[in-house]
Amino acid sequence: MTDDVVTRSVDASSWDALTTVFGTRGDPAGCWCQWFKLSRSDWDGTDRTQKAELLHAQADAGSPGVLAWLGDEPVGWAAVEPFSAYPSLARSPITRRTAEDPSDPWAVTCFVVRLEHRRKGVARALLRGALEHARERGATVIEGYPVDTGARPKLSAAERYHGTVSLFTSGGFEVVRRPSATRALMRRTLQPAG
């Protein structure tokens, strides 16, 4: 199935596809990939419609991620931008920078796969698309902050939105550190595009 899934960077024409992927129920419809973009007080003071409007504006202004397509149907999303585009990452104990870390790597922070398309390789295709998206925009280092299903096997789909260690390992990422028993900071160096 993965070979049938293609990814494309999000742009101003992607809004209808994004609304299909995020839907109207569940965690994605309440977050719209704004958790890492907003301060806690701004998050608490922003309703789901406003969060959707923020992602819409971000898509219009640039390319905050990639969409996965199966034929003409949008089936998933991955958020990928420079670390600095996500202010909350700098405050998290999972993603906080150390002296050895690159100053502004790119970060894959979120995966959304529509329920009826899960377990079909969509997340794997999204990660490949995120790598290419970042490389085309000059990224040389990319990070992910996945959950370790080996340490915590009974995670719900909602708890896997960061991706899993096995997914990132299959994408060529290596564990840099383990900030908690169930989370890893993983990194991959990218070759320049072209």
Mean pLDDT by 10 residues, the chain (194 residues): 84 94 89 93 94 95 93 96 94 89 93 90 96 96 94 78 94 95 95 75
Report H helices in the chain: 15-22, 26-31, 40-44, 48-61, 122-136, 165-170
In a domain, 53, yes or no: yes
Phi and psi at residue 192, to the nearest 5°? -60, 145
Q: Identify the CATH number of the domain in which residue 162 sits.
A: 3.40.630.30
Token digits for 68?
């996965």
In a domain, 49, yes or no: yes
How far apart (Å, rounded) are the C-alpha atoms in residues 178 and 66? 27
In this prediction, residue 2 carries a pLDDT of 57
In a domain, 104, yes or no: yes
How far apart (Å, rounded) are the C-alpha atoms in residues 126 and 83? 18
Q: Which helix (H) or strand (E) holds 183?
A: strand 183-189
DSSP at 147: B
CB 161 within 8 A of CB 111: yes
Token digits for 87?
């202010």
Rounded CA Rg of the chain: 16
In a domain, 26, yes or no: yes
State which residues form the domain around 35. 2-189
How far apart (Å, rounded) are the C-alpha atoms in residues 22 and 120? 18
In a domain, 194, yes or no: no
Token digits for 97?
């920078």
Pairing of strands 5-9, 106-113: unpaired
In a domain, 74, yes or no: yes
Domain count within the chain: 1
In a domain, 62, yes or no: yes
Q: Which of 22, 13, 18, 17 is nearest to 60 (CA)?
A: 13
Mean pLDDT of the chain: 92
Token digits for 53?
């409007």
In this prediction, residue 56 carries a pLDDT of 95
Where are any strands of DSSP class E within 42-129?
65-70, 73-82, 106-113
In a domain, 162, yes or no: yes
Q: Which of 178, 170, 188, 62 is nearest to 131 (CA)?
A: 188
Q: Which of 132, 124, 134, 114 is nearest to 168 (CA)?
A: 124
